[in-house]
Amino acid sequence: MMRLFGHRKSPPVAIGARYRSGQTPPIVWEVASLFLGIDGTPYAQIIHVGDASRRKTLAQSVLEQGTQYRRL
């Protein structure tokens, strides 16, 4: 079945999934944990693969959109 406009559903965010940021040079991040915030929003904590001291917390929707971070 052909999809309109080339859209495809991205796989769900999962612990261990890796994403590349659009920065130069690209940085690889790995999902370390998933949780539901007090605001009801699902979040993901990601860790820099080369430096575990670098961590970020993002709404899972940011990873699912694929614009700032691309799944590897």
- Do 31 and 71 meet the contact criterion of CB atoms below 8 Å apart? no
56 residue type, one letter:
K
d(C-alpha 45, C-alpha 41), whole Å: 13
Task: Return the biggest CA–CA distance within the chain.
Answer: 44
Q: What is the pLDDT of residues 7-35, one digit of tens each?
A: 556 778 999 999 998 877 889 999 999 99
**Which structural domains are found in the chain, ordered by start?**
14-71 (2.30.30)
The number of helix segments (H) and strand segments (E) in the chain equals: 1, 5
Residue in the structure block whose two tokens are 């001291």: 53
Residue in the structure block whose two tokens are 């700032």: 68
pTM of the full predicted structure? 0.82
Q: What is the pLDDT of residues 33-71, one digit of tens each?
A: 999 999 999 999 999 999 999 999 999 999 998 888 999
